Amino acid sequence: MSGPGLFVSGATHQTAPLAMREKLSPGPDPAELHGRLTAIPGVRELALLSTCNRLEIYAVADDPAALRALEDAFCAHRQLDPEDFGRVRMTRRDRDAIRHLFGVAAGLESQMVGENEILGQVKDAYAAAQALRSTGPVLNRLFQKTFQAAKLARSQTAITEGHVSVANVAVDLASNIFGALGGVRVLVLGAGDIAEKTTKAFLSRGAAPAMTVASRTIERASDLASRIEGDSLPLAEVESRLKDFDVVVGSTSAPGTLISAAAVRQAMHQRPSRPLFFIDLAMPRDIDPEVARLENVFLYNLDDLAAIAEKNLAARTAEVARCRELLQLRVEALWSQLEHHLGPGAAGRENTGSPAPGGQFAG
């Protein structure tokens, strides 16, 4: 359908496998990508939401043709075949785009339904777009109302109850393998938000004081290590020190793998009787997937953790329905406010784009 509109285009864990999501990462310079996309003729406003499980482009554009040009520019920047992207792409517009973002921020579209980290990531995406001066009246209103709707959904339903964060699920897995965590030596790669949440989850289960943080910037590693009364380690020394740890958590933003199968094989020769447990929370992945083939080595990635967490979803199914109903009222209210910003013909427009398997749009 032609005409100006509010669009979202991208791919998520519901449409794209882990290997494909790695390729959709904005790359080492998100600002450069952002600049290329905002230069597309017909694109009025833009924001990028990139997490471990999704890459979504929110745009106010003159018509679907401008959106397609934007998608082509993204593929060119990431060296992706547009046909490959098209097979995993989801697109939504207008009130369906609002509904989608509300659900994302409330944790309804997450691999671990109800998880809390996504709201902070949506806020960071909006702040980054504001800093690059690519938002306007539509996206500003959209994101501000999104934060209010997500807060309301989380406060008025039980959608966040239970262990629904990757950090908590990761610690549960470590406990299943090692039992009590008091003597388990934990190495966390990265010093960002996910790393901090993971260290706190391990601390809450008695893993202190045998915890070490490694980062590309030793100052950041030392800062987080000091807050958990642990040790720090230069990232360059990680592979040579693997034999000293029982659990290794990957959570960096490095562009490629940091731990090779060869390094793990060498470490296991030096500790053959004790298992080595890897939890890869990074996107792209920090740990070579071939590691999982080694004897007495366990490797879980984001999709593995999500499958485990899904077992807890049944208890929250009714809350998901309540949450969607609560958000829908606010979707309609916001859409009625945004229509006049998008020009004639905006009212009543429906979703457009590529349907997910089964005829439904995936989030």
Which residues, other chains included, contact 49 with Cβ-Cβ below 8 Å and sequence gap of 6+?
A: 10, 55, 56, 57, 58, 104, 121, 122, 125
State the DSSP H helix or E strand holding residue 47, giving kind and residue range, or none if neither. Answer: strand 43-51
Burial class (CB in 10 A: 0-12, 13-18, 19+), 72: middle
Residue 283 tokens, joined: 């996107």
What are 312's two structure tokens?
Answer: 């807890």
Distance CA 284, CA 255 (A): 6
Give the H/E segment covering residue 170.
Answer: helix 166-178
Q: Are 95 and 7 in contact (CB under 8 A)?
A: no
* Dihedral angle computed from the Cα positions of residues 126, 131, 137 and 141, in that order, rounded to the nearest 10 degrees: 30
In sequence order, the 6+-apart residues with CB closer than 8 A to the CB of 70 are 9, 37, 40, 43, 46, 57, 59, 61
Of 24, 46, 48, 52, which one is the catalytic site residue?
A: 52
323 catalytic residue (yes or no): no
Whether the bond between 64 and the residue before it is cis, its omega within 30 degrees of 0, is no
Cα separation, 73 vs 342, in Å, equals 23
Report the interhelical angle of 218-227 vs 193-204 (nearest 10°): 30
Q: Starting at the earlier edge strand, list the strands of the sheet with 90-93.
A: 43-51, 54-61, 5-12, 90-93
Q: Which residues are catalytic?
A: 52
